[in-house]
Amino acid sequence: MNLGLGYEIELNIFDKNLNKLTSFSVVENKFLPGSFWDPPSAARREKPLAFLQFL
């Protein structure tokens, strides 16, 4: 059983007057390896790894 992980990350940069200078966003859906016998344990292990690979 595989796990689906969908996320959206948005980074906004503002100056001291709160004018938006730039922004960057990422929207992605990933399929992570799972476990047929223990899906919750696989999710706890695989989700943090996926975010670390992105960052």
Task: Specify the number of domains making up the chain.
Answer: 1
**Distance in angstroms (rounded) separating the CA atoms of residues 36 and 39:** 6
Taking the CB of residue 39, how many other CB atoms lie within 10 A of it?
Answer: 13
Task: Provide mean pLDDT across the span 20-33.
Answer: 82
Confidence band (pLDDT; 50, 70, 90) for 12?
A: very high
Tell me the pLDDT tens digit for each residue of 33-48: 666 666 667 666 666 6
Range of 40's domain? 3-54
| DSSP for the chain, written as a single string | --EEEEEEEEEEEE-TT--EEEEEEEEEEEEE---SS-HHHHHHHHHHHHHHHH-
With 80 as the cut, is the pLDDT of residue 51 above it?
A: no
